[in-house]
Amino acid sequence: MEPLALDVRLDGYNDPVGVLVRDDRGAVAFAYMEDYVSNSDATPLSLSLPLSPEPYEDVIARPFFDNLLQERDSALTDIMAREGLSRDDVAGLLFHIGKDCAGALSVLPMGAPPVKVPGDYDHDYTAIRPERLEAIVASLHKRRRLPEGTEDPSPLAGVQSKIALTLLPDGRLAEPNPGTGAPTTHILKVPDQEHLQDALLEAEAMSLSQKLGFETADVVAMPIANIDTLLVTRFDRGLDREGRIVRIHQEDFAQALGLPASLKYERRGTEGRRFDVAGIRRVLEATADPTGEKDRFIRATLFDLLIGNTDGHAKNFALLFERGQSVRLAPRYDILPTRLDDSLTDEFAFRIGSAQRLGEIAIQDFDAFLRDMGIDSAPARRRLRVRYSDEIASALAAHLDELNKRGMKRFADLIATNIRTLLGNLEVDVPETAKERDAFLGSAGGWLLS
Instruction: Please check whether residue 307 lies inside any domain of the structure.
Output: yes
Q: Considering its fold, how many domains does the chain have in total?
A: 3
The strand pair at 173-176 and 125-127 is best described as: antiparallel
Residue 442 lies in a domain: no
Which of 71-80, 215-224, 259-268, 325-334 has the lowest average pLDDT?
A: 71-80
The answer to whether residue 372 scores a pLDDT higher than 60 is yes
pLDDT exceeds cutoff 70 at 159:
no
**Helix ranges (DSSP H) in 16-169:** 34-37, 58-66, 77-83, 90-97, 130-141
CB 163 within 8 A of CB 136: yes
- 146's torsion region: left (phi>0), alpha (psi -120 to 50) or beta? beta
Residue ending a domain, among 76, 109, 142, is 109
Closest to 155 in 3D by CA, of 68, 93, 283: 68
- Give the side-chain half-sphere CA count within 13 A for 179: 0
Mean pLDDT across the stretch 134-154?
Answer: 77
Tell me, yes or no, whether 227 and 328 share the same domain: no
Distance of CA 291 to the CA centre of its chain: 22
Average pLDDT for 171-191: 95
User: Both 284 and 381 in a single domain?
Assistant: yes
| pLDDT range class, residue 325, cuts 50, 70, 90 | confident
Query: What would you report as the CA-atom Rg of the chain, rounded to the nearest whole angstrom?
Result: 22
- Residues facing residue 12 across a β-bridge: none
Q: Which domain, by its residues, includes 303?
A: 257-435
pLDDT category of residue 447 using cuts at 50, 70 and 90: very low
Instruction: Give the model's confidence band at 74: pLDDT under 50 very low, under 70 low, under 90 confident, else very high.
Output: low
Say if residue 441's pLDDT is above 90: no
Confidence category of residue 240, pLDDT binned at 50, 70, 90: very high
The more confidently predicted of residues 80 and 18 is 18
Whether 426 is covered by a domain: the verdict is yes
Other Cβ atoms within 10 Å of 193 Cβ, number = 9
Query: Does 322 lie in the same domain as 274?
Result: yes
Question: Quick check: 294 pLDDT over 50?
Answer: yes
210 Ramachandran zone, left/alpha/beta (phi>0; psi -120 to 50): alpha
269 and 176 within one domain:
no
Is 247 part of any domain? Answer: no
pLDDT of residue 36: 96
Helix, strand, coil shares, percent, the chain, to 5 = 35, 20, 45
- Lowest mean per-residue pLDDT among 55-59, 122-126, 144-148, 181-185: 144-148
CA distances from 90 to 87, 293, 393, 414 (A): 7, 33, 44, 42
Do 322 and 413 share a structural domain?
yes
CA neighbours closer than 13 Å in the CB half-sphere of residue 237: 24
Answer yes or no: do 81 and 129 share one domain.
no
What are the C-alpha distances in Å from 20 to residues 185, 418, 428?
A: 28, 47, 53
Based on the fold, state whether residues 140 and 207 are members of the same structural domain.
yes
Q: Write the pLDDT tens digit of every residue in 18-44.
A: 999 999 999 999 999 999 999 988 999
Work out whether strand 105-109 and strand 28-32 pair parallel, antiparallel, or are unpaired. Answer: unpaired
Percent of the chain with pLDDT over 90: 84
| Same domain (yes/no): 205, 265 | no
Residues 288, 430 share a domain:
yes
CATH code at position 360: 1.10.1070
pLDDT in tens, 379-431: 999 999 999 999 999 999 999 999 999 999 999 999 999 999 999 999 999 99
Q: Hey, which of 70-74, 155-159, 445-449 has the most confident mean pLDDT?
A: 70-74
Between helix 198-211 and helix 290-307 the angle, nearest 10°, is 130
pLDDT confidence of residue 75: 63
Indicate the average pLDDT of the chain: 92
Q: Mean pLDDT throughout 163-167?
A: 96
User: Within this chain, do residues 264 and 316 fall inside the same structural domain, yes or no?
Assistant: yes
Helix 363-372 vs helix 290-307: angle between axes, to the nearest 10 degrees? 150
C-alpha span between 222 and 201 (Å, rounded): 13
Q: Which residues pair with 441 in a beta bridge?
A: none
Q: Tell me, yes or no, whether 446 lies in a domain.
A: no
Predicted model pTM: 0.91
pLDDT tens digits along 201-239: 999 999 999 999 999 999 999 999 999 999 999 999 999
* 216 shares its domain with 144: yes
From edge to edge, which strands make up the β-sheet containing 318-321? 250-252, 318-321, 327-329
pLDDT above 70 as % of the chain: 94
Residues 395, 357 share a domain: yes
* DSSP-assigned beta bridge partners for residue 107: 8
